[in-house]
């Protein structure tokens, strides 16, 4: 789902959604519930820290072209 589609589904401007993603605004409980419903997840799942794989220093490896 795109940001635009999610924003439309929960009834907020896409700019607001972008600010939420960047951590520039706080979300109300009502909006948090809308996010959870639209994404079909429970609120605690939205509140968990992202589990990202650690990045490795240096440049990314080049793709092999065949």
Give tens-digit pLDDT for 25-39.
998 999 999 999 999
Domain that holds residue 20: 3-47
Is 38 domain-assigned?
A: yes
Number of domains present in the structure of the chain: 1
- 43 vs 63: CA distance, rounded Å: 39
Q: Does 58 fall in a domain?
A: no
**Alpha-carbon gap, residue 35 to 17, rounded angstroms:** 10
pLDDT at 59: 74
Classify residue 32: in a domain, yes or no.
yes
Let me know if residue 13 belongs to a domain: yes
SS3 51: coil
Amino acid 5: pLDDT: 93
Structure confidence at residue 66 (pLDDT): 63
Query: pLDDT, tens digit, for every residue of 36-54?
Result: 999 999 998 888 876 767 7
User: Can you tell me which residue has the tokens 């519930």?
Assistant: 33
Alpha helices (H) in the chain, listed in sequence order: 3-10, 14-22, 29-39, 43-47
CATH value at residue 28: 1.10.260.40
């Amino acid at each position: 789902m795109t940001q635009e589609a999610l924003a439309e589904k929960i009834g907020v401007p896409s700019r607001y959604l972008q600010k939420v993603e960047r951590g520039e605004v706080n979300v109300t409980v009502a909006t948090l519930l809308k996010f959870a419903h639209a994404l079909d997840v429970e609120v605690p799942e939205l509140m968990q820290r992202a589990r990202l794989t650690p990045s490795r220093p240096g440049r990314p490896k080049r793709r092999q072209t065949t």
